[in-house]
Amino acid sequence: MARPTDLRPRIAALDLPTLEAYAGLAPRADVVAAEVEGLSGRVDAAHARLTESRLHGASVDALDLTGATLADVAIADLRAADLSAANGSWRSVEVDGGRLGSFSAARATWDSVVVRGIRVDYLALAAATLTDVLFVGCTFGALDLPDARLLRVAFEDCRCDEVDTRGLKASGVDLRGLDALSFTSPAGLAGVTIDDRQAAMHAREFAEALGIRVAS
In this structure, is residue 7 part of a structural domain? no
Q: Report residue 204's pLDDT band, with 50, 70 and 90 as the boundaries.
A: low
Asked, for residue 109, whether it belongs to a domain, the answer is yes
Residue type, 37: E
Q: What is the pLDDT of residue 2?
A: 47
User: Which CATH number fits the domain that encloses residue 80?
Assistant: 2.160.20.80
The pLDDT of residue 30: 97
Q: Does residue 69 lie within any of the structural domains? A: yes
Distance CA 142, CA 186 (A): 16
Distance separating alpha carbons of residues 36 and 156, to the nearest angstrom: 29
pLDDT at 211: 64
pTM, full prediction: 0.90
Residue 62 lies in a domain: yes
Q: Is residue 64 part of a domain?
A: yes
Kind plus residue range of the DSSP H or E element containing 209: helix 203-209
What are the start-end ranges of the E strands in 57-165? 59-64, 69-84, 89-104, 109-124, 129-136, 139-144, 149-156, 158-164
Number of domains observed in the structure of the chain: 1
Domain that holds residue 143: 21-209
Q: Do residues 36 and 45 touch, judged by C-beta distance below 8 A?
A: no
